[in-house]
Chain A
Amino acid sequence: MTVAGRVWRAVFVLVALNHVVSNAAENSFSKDVLPLLSDRCFQCHGPDEANREAGLRLDSPSIVGTPGQKHGIVVPGSLDASELWSRIVSDDPDTMMPPTGAHRAEWSDSELGTIREWILSGADWGRHWSFTPIARPKVSQSESDAIDWLINQRLRELGFRCNALADSRTRLRRLSFSLRGVGPTVQETEQLVPLIDAGGFSEVVDRFLEDSLHAERLAMWWLDAARYSDSDGYQQDLTRENWPWRDWVINAFRSNMRFDQFTREQFAGDLMKNATPEQILATCFHRNHMTNGEGGRDPEESRVDYVLDRTNTMGTVWLGLTLGCTQCHSHKFDPISQRDYYSLTAFFNSIDEDGKAGKNAKPYLSYQSPFVNDRINKTQLLVEECEKDKKRRLQVATQRFDGWLKEMEVTIGDNYTAWLNPKIESVISSEGTEFSFDDSAIVQTLGPTPQQDDYRIEFSLPAGLRRIAGWRIEVFPEPSHVNGMFTRDGNGDFILTNVKTLIRQSGNPNEVELENESAIADYEAKKDRQTKWDTRYSNIKETLNDDARDGWTTEGAESVTSHLGVYKLKQPYEIQEGDRLVVILKQRSTLGEANIGRFRISITSERGETLKRFDSVSPLTELSSLANAESSETPDELRERLFQQFLLDQKDYQQATRTLALAKSQLNSLKTQAKPRSVMVLKDREEPRQTHVLIRGVWDQKGDLVEQGFLTSIIGGAMTSPANRLDLANWLVSRENPLTARVTVNHLWRLMFGRGLVSTAEDFGLQGEQPTHPMLLDWLAAELMDTDWDLRHILRLIANSQAFQRSSVMTDELKEVDPDNRWLARGPRHRLDAWMLRDNALRVSGLLDESIGGPPVYPYQPPGVWSEITMGRFQYEPSLGAEQYRRTIYAFWRRSSAPTFLFDSAQRRVCEVDRGQTNTPLQALTLLNDETYLECSRVIADRLSIINDFDSAVQALAMIVLSREWKNAEIESIRAVYNSSREYYQRNPLEAQQYIDVGQQTQCKVDSAPEIAAWMTCVSLTLNLDEAISLE
Chain B
Amino acid sequence: MKAAPLDLAVLRARLAAQPGRPFWRSLEEAADTEEFRAYLAAEFPACSLPAPAPDRRRFLQLMAASLAMSGLAACGRGGGNSRIVPNVRESQRLVPGLPTYYASAALLDGFANGIQVTTFDGRPVKVEGNEAHPWSRGGTDVFAQASVLQLYDPDRSQTVRRLGRISDWQTFGGVMAGHVAAIRAEHGRGLRLLTGPVTSPSLAAQIEALRTDFPEMHWHVLETVPRAAVRDAATTAFGRPLESIPRFDRAEVVVALDADFLDQGPQQVGLARRWSDARRASLATGRLLVLHAAAPSPTLTSAKADFPVVASSRGMAALADGLLADIAAGSSAAPGTDPASQWRARAAAALHAARGRGIVVAGAAQPAAVHLAAHRINAALGNTGTTVLHLTPATAPAEPIESLVAAMAAGAVSAVLMFDTNPVYTAPADLDFSAALARVPLKIHAGLHVDETANAADWHLPLSHPLEAWGDARAFDGTISMQQPTIMPLYDTRSAGELLSVIFEPASRSGLAILQDFWRGSRSAAAFFPGWDQSLRDGFIPGSAFPAETVRTPPAAAASALARTTGDLDLLIRPDPSVWDGSFANVGWLQELPKPLTKMTWDNLVAISPRTAERLHLDNGEIVEIVAGPRRTQGPVWITPGQADDAATITLGYGRGSAGSVADGVGFDAYALRTAASPWISSGVVLRRHGGRTPLATTQLHSTMEGHDFVRIQPLGAPPVGDNTAFTQPSFYPRLQTDGRSWGMVIDTDACIGCNACVVACQSENNIPVVGREQMLAARGMHWLRVDRYYGGPLDDPQTHFMPVPCMMCEQAPCEVACPVEATVHDHEGLNLMVYNRCVGTRACSGYCPYKVRRFNFHDYSAGAEPSLQAQRNPDVTVRAGGVMEKCTYCVQRIAAARVEADQAGRPIRDGEVRTACQQACPTRAITFGDLADRGSAVAHAFADPRNYALLGELNTRPHTTYLATLAPAAPPKPEG
Do these two chains really belong together in a complex? Answer: no
Q: Which residues of A contact B (CB under 8 A)?
A: none
Q: Which residues of B contact A (CB under 8 A)?
A: none
